[in-house]
Structure 1
Amino acid sequence: MTSHFTHLFSPLQIGPVEIPNRIAMMPMGVFSPRLLSPETVAYTKEGADYYIARAKGGTGLIITGLMPVVDNMGFCILSNPEGYVKDMKYLMDGVHETGSKVFVQLTSLTGRANHGLTGICPAPAPIQNVWDPTKIDRGMSKEEIKQYVENFAKGAKLVQEAGGDGVEIHAVHEGYLLDQFVISFFNRRTDEYGGSLENRLRIIKEIVEAIKAACGQDFPVSMRYSVKSYVKDFNRGAIPGEEFEEKGRDYEESLIVAKKMEEFGYDMLNCDNGSYDSWFWAHPPMYMPKACNLEDVMKVKEVVSIPVACAGRFDEPDLADRVIAEGKLDIMGMGRPLLADPEAPNKYVEGRLADVRPCIYCHQGCLGRIFQGKDISCAVNPACGREKSYALTPAETKKRILVIGGGIGGMEAARVAAIRGHEVHLFEKTDQLGGVFVAAATPDFKEDDRQLLAWYKKQMADLKVHVQLNTEITEAQTTNYDEIFVATGAVERRLNTPGFDGDHVTYAIEALREKEITGTHVVIVGGGLTGCEIAYDLAKKGKKVTIIEASETILNAFGLSAANYNMMMELLDYYQVTVIKNAVVDRYEAGIAYVTETVKNYPNVANRAQHMFALGTQGLPKPHEIPADDIVVSIGYTSDDALYKAIEADHVHLIGDAKKPTNVMDAIWAAYEEAMHA
């Protein structure tokens, strides 16, 4: 078999450790009790299997999710040393059997980026909290700094005893505690750990020296490193291409820091960009460019001789192979793409790129679930984090299965049923597969959504699902099937607002798929995720856009990651989209949207009144007359479950938007879980 991407799949030395190829799994946290033992803080067998599956899939280096060296979050690597070493051997042995290597990421935690733990996770010096700027996080004492350094060394020694190949220090990256020490904008200390760059780097130097003293010079230590902060101010991040004054780490200082870390003894720099103030650089949503950090990371490679990795929407093996061949990078770092498809590296080397299930950079199954206290998983791969319990097995009895509706949920049900060996017939009433996801995937920043559609269509063909388009199934046609999956989708909600029956009023699906919005002034009715994405897309094209939202907040989508939320808010601000909340359109007439906003006396950030006078419980009506050459309505969907109700029975399964309009993750997961047992 011919090996594709020969440079990407060549070995690499990190210190004395050789990894078999240049693909590394970026740390994707596993914190839930099912995956991380509360007793030993080692990964349970299910948690280890999550990592082992990626090693079996061809990933050369597994870097586990962060493990605290201090007990500020209720668990710490030092809590049960004997138990940790004993239980981690299952993970180490499982990865090593594949030929891959394991680094464990050790962390000093969050500093000012702590969420709900103000005062527990100290910052370098007193400074405002990221999530609640009215709170001030306390500064660390020198005694605490010394203890943190010692704990890093002790934690690294445990990793070594457990069979780990190295550790990664978390992190001069993403605005975490160590990053706050290094950046003068955050570090207000006046002792030997603050002030000059040498002082601000002191703790970074002491950590690697302590680890090398404990574990030996031949034990590799990687540093997670953000090249540039992209911080405009506290809680404000810069978007790509924006001109701004860097308040965090700029290029000039970054290259000095990178060289210093090599001098200190670090064996690898695992690089990206950003801070919690600009979180969308470290966790790039679909609005960020592909390989968004690569140009910056290659600057680091020019000044150091140790291996350099790059992460951040980096899922193009041809690009990775080229820059590695040119000596501009050493390692392709992937996090979420390996959750979506743990076999991606094997498919790369075999040249089967069209078979790779793409990450759509939604953050719903990974970050979204982590911060809800749930197991890590993936929106497009329900078996992520449940590799054995959710494995698809051949059905004992082969059945004849009908899938009604060819949207994402319908195709997932058909895919799973076909893999299990059933005969699957899928009927779609339109002329193409994809359902409403076809419209959702049309903006230029949704290339991964379009790739997911292409992947599903290929699955239908490869698995020999009998697909028939332009066919609307009736109740009479649903007989003679052992199992039926009804995935008839949803219809858009409509408004009876006066004037909304005219040619210049469009609903979201039509606006996305078919109708070109030609006017200059556009009003978007509905500030949910779809409405905001349409507003951003139009504003980027030069339109003057106003969002009218009936509720008190926009982007109120369950599971939406703060990285996606914050970037969309920055984009709306950058492109000067006007947002009016607590407002409705009363009528649309002669190119004017007549809007009533209800002004309420909400407190400001200091929890004090925003207005000079009380407004009463009903608020104060405030009229607006907004120029609107076009109006786009995006107010959600209503389930189309009429056929299901007509044929409801034990062998009939209602899935996707036909059951409840939500998001791609819910549609895929429900379809998978129903079909895996059919």
Structure 2
Amino acid sequence: MLEKIFEPIKIGKLELKNRLVVPPMGMNYCNAEGTATERFIAYYEARAKGGWGLIITECYAVDQHGKPVKNMSGFWSDDQIESHAKLAERVHKHGGKIAVQLFHAGRQTGSHITGVQPIAPSPIKDPTLSETPHELTKAEIKELVEKFGDAALRVKKAGFDAVEIHGAHGYLIDQFLSPFSNKRTDEYGGTIINRTRFAVEIIENVRKKVGKDFPVLFRISTDEFVEGGLTIEDTKVIAKILEQSGIDAIHCSTGVYKTMQYVIPPAAVPHAFSVSLAAEIKKVVSIPVIAVGRINDPLIAESVLLSQKADLISMGRASLADPELPNKAKEGRLDDIIQCIGCVQGCAGRLFKGLDVRCLVNPLTGKENEFAVEPAKEKKKVFVAGGGIAGMESAIIAAKRGHEVHLYEKDDKLGGQWLLAAVPPSKAELNTFTIWQKNQMDKLGVHVHLNSELNEDIVENEKPDAVIIATGAKPIVPNIPGVNLPEVVLAQDVLAGKKDVGQSVVVVGGGLVGAETAAHLANHGKKVVIIEMLDDIVIDGEPTVKHFLLKDLQEHHVEIITSATVKEIKQGSVTIEKDHVIKEIGDVDNVVIAVGSKSENALSDKLQGKVEKIITVGDAIKVRKALEAVEEGYKAGLAV
């Protein structure tokens, strides 16, 4: 079933054992001075062990003022070679091949990070950022060309296998390539040849310093998806120029900061959405083409290669979710692969807040040494109360360590609130994690008790050594006159299929649950109004996820009323107050309540003194995101 992805391929003179690539992803694991930490090295080492054909590191800054986040790697100094040489050595120890991506952020950073004014081809600020950049002089451009070449030589000296030049995503080289950001009228602006000149000079400088046999890759945004930006027809011409300048492979991405939803696409974006753009590049070049774009399944990767749309496949967040994906795929263990669900909570969601990267479905990511699963010194009987994602994760880790694990779930199926989260549009992929967790528990011999709520009697009779409480949360019912009418239902009951609603629906609450429930109903032909107290909906949502959710609501004509409170619910109508004006919304068949949840944890107090160790995890402590719930479940499995 999977053959093409495991065929060897050459990039220049570098032979790769398969076609699967870990593309560059900023991790924020390095020291502020750009040197490698043990955490940084261990993260890449895990992917080398996992069997990837090529690992391309996060972007290394060629200048200390070219970083978009503080703890990013760099090769602007010879002093940085030693620590990064250890990274190359550790990857090679496991038979891996590793390239370094070199870049400068240009205008897509800020003085609060670098301490200096950003630079760009033209003094035009990025639409997503606040500072106007300094327009580079020709002399400064020449200096930067040398810095890229010098950094590439450091890559070679440190023992890496190749270098990739980052000309995508709106960073400095792309700022020159694109008319969206390049308004120059000298030899570096205007025509395609002029706008490509900076990239060509960098390639030539790199090649001069690393030699003709050292592989040089180039990453490009095939389409920036912005008005006045690069389109595929522009990029095909640029790709041909780059090939003639001496690159060995072209890595086809999309987007800039303004269109981040296509740089790091969430679940609302179709699988392999930009592969057709890579296929267009492949038509005009003879060097290998790497495709990317929400490819999270080896079967999809295989299909893309068989379609001859690309020569290699980048699977970025798939490699965060499961570094062992290639090994598992090669061994036919597809149901053991943890699939990326496109949530962007732990990766881009954290990185763009200046935090370190994690992964919702794999807490081991970035904590390879800290969270390693070791056999328990003493086998214990461990009970888990609650079969949501936090409870199942704790059961899996405890069982992996050799404990006898019993999981009790009061409902007739596993998954808890996560099952409901998978119902709205574009969210079905969440179910892959539930399926993976259930499979793992089955393989590990976890005793699952459905329709069984763990209580103090069971604990007193069975005498477990530890109890992990993962009882989750329950919906809040607000104190609104009329809330107990039969026409009023909870969002959770609607998503679970327990309650039907009529044609005209008012959703009370514009958080993620309310907005997604509204989208679900609107997609099924309902007329929906959202009422939210705050001045915006989904205020704590991931920006790229929110982008597509708002688009969906707009396309399905969902009315959104913000800064409003519900005063009363009547049969057939809802009374609201907005801007001190009372208004009645009529012809309402049902009102859906989605104003949040509260922790459900009555068990902890009841078990005090009855069991040696009690650990509470997830929403049972405090209602938060799934990222925290899964990590706490994982840690609880380590702690028992």
TM over 0.5: yes
The two structures, once aligned, show a CA RMSD in angstroms of 2.2
- 8 A contact 1:55–1:95 mirrored in 2: yes
SS of alignment partner, residue 82 of structure 2: helix
Counterpart residue number, 1:225: 220
Distance (Å, rounded) in 2 between the aligned partners of 1:261 and 1:53:
33
Q: Could you tell me which residue of structure 1 aligns to residue 184 of structure 2?
A: 189
Q: 2:475 aligns with which of 492, 506, 521?
A: 492
Aligned to 2:543: 562
TM-score, scaled relative to structure 1 = 0.89
Pairing 1:77–2:70 present? no
Q: Cα gap change, 1:372/1:639 in structure 2, threshold over 3 Å: closer, same or farther?
A: same
Overall identity of the aligned pairs, in %: 38
Query: Greater shift after overlay, 115-124 or 459-468?
Result: 115-124
Measured after TM superposition, the shift of residue 131 of structure 1 is 2.7
Asked if 1:51 corresponds to 2:47, the answer is: no
1:38–1:250: structure 2 CA closer, same or farther, 3 Å change rule? closer
Greater shift, 107-116 or 508-517, is seen at 107-116
Confirm or deny that 1:594 pairs with 2:575: yes
In 2, distance between residues paired with 1:368 and 1:337?
Answer: 16
1:261 to 1:388, Cα distance in 2 relative to 1, 3 A:
same
Which of 384, 405, 415 in structure 2 is aligned with 1:434?
Answer: 415
Decide whether aligned partners of structure 1 residues 429 and 343 sit closer, same or farther in structure 2, where only a CA change above 3 A counts.
Answer: same
Q: Report what 2:636 is aligned to.
A: 674
Equivalent residues in 2 for 1:181-260, closer than 5 Å: 181-231=176-226, 246-260=227-241
The 1:372/1:648 distance shift into structure 2, 3 A limit, reads farther
Aligned partner letter, 1:655: V
Q: Paired residue for 1:614?
A: none
1:415 matched to which residue of 2?
Answer: 396
CA deviation after TM superposition for structure 1 residue 590, in Å: 4.7
Match of 2:170 in 1: 175
Match of 1:524, SS?
strand
Q: Does the 8 Å CA contact 2:22/2:314 hold for their aligned counterparts?
A: yes
Q: 55, 68, 72: which is aligned to 2:61?
A: 68
User: Aligned to 2:512, which of 502, 514, 529?
Assistant: 529
Q: 1:87 to 1:543 in 2, by over 3 A?
A: same
User: Residue by residue, what CA displacement relative to the aligned partner does 1:383-416 show, whole Å, maximum 9, x if unpaired?
Assistant: 1111122101011111111111111111111111
Give the drift of 1:543.
3.8
**Shift in Å, 1:621:** 4.3
| Further displaced range: 589-598 or 412-421 | 589-598
Question: What are the residue-to-residue correspondences of 1:441-520 with 2, within 5 Å?
Answer: 441-479=422-460, 480-515=463-498, 519-520=502-503
Contact 1:69 1:76 in 2 (8 A): no
In 2 relative to 1, CA 540–222 (structure 1 residues): closer, same or farther, beyond 3 Å?
farther
How many Å apart are 1:639 and its aligned residue? 0.8
Match of 1:295 in 2: 276
1:154 aligns with 2:173: no
Q: Contact 1:126 / 1:139 at 8 angstroms: preserved in 2?
A: yes
CA distance, structure 2, for counterparts of residue 123 and residue 567 of structure 1:
30
CA distance in 1, matches of 2:449, 2:73: 55
Amino acid at match of 1:332: I
The CA deviation at 1:159 is 0.3
Deviation at 1:9, TM superposition (A): 0.4
Deviation at residue 580 of structure 1 after TM alignment: 2.2
CA gap 1:99/1:195 in 2 versus in 1, 3 angstroms: same
Give the 3-state SS of the residue equivalent to 1:128 in structure 2. coil
8 Å CA contact retained: 2:30, 2:73? no
Match in the other structure for 2:31: 37
Aligned residues of 1:112 and 1:130 also touching (Cα < 8 A): no
Q: Does residue 539 in structure 1 map to residue 535 in structure 2? A: no
Matched with 1:645 is 605
How far 1:158 moved relative to its partner?
A: 0.1
Residues 171-230 of structure 1: per-residue CA shift (max 9 Å, x gap):
2x2222222222213211122111111111111111101100111122222111121122
CA offsets per residue over residues 543-566 of structure 1, 9 Å max, x none?
443322112332222xx4332233
- Aligned position for 2:125: 128
**AA matched with 1:69:** V
- Mapped to 2, the partners of 1:247 and 1:626 lie a distance apart of 45
- 8 Å CA contact retained: 2:474, 2:597: yes
**What is the aligned partner in structure 2 of residue 551 from structure 1?**
534
Distance 2:118 2:500 in 1: 49
Letter in 1 for 2:623: P
Once residues 273 and 646 of structure 1 are traced to their aligned partners in structure 2, the CA distance between those partners, rounded to angstroms, is 54
Contact between 1:524 and 1:535, CA under 8 Å: does it hold in 2?
Answer: yes
Alpha carbons 1:486, 1:655 under 8 Å: kept: yes
The amino acid across from 1:662 in the alignment is R
440-449 or 217-226, which moves further after superposition?
440-449
CA contact (8 A) 1:113 1:130 kept: no
Contact 2:489 2:499 in 1 (8 A): no
Deviation of the 1:502 alpha carbon:
3.4
**Alignment check: 8 A CA contact 1:380 1:668 kept:** yes
CA apart distance, 1:114: 4.8
- TM-score of the two chains, using structure 2 as the length reference: 0.94
**Counterpart of 2:472 in structure 1: which amino acid?**
G
- 1:145 paired residue number: 141
One-letter amino acid of the counterpart of residue 30, structure 2 = L
Helix, strand or coil at the partner of 1:64 = strand
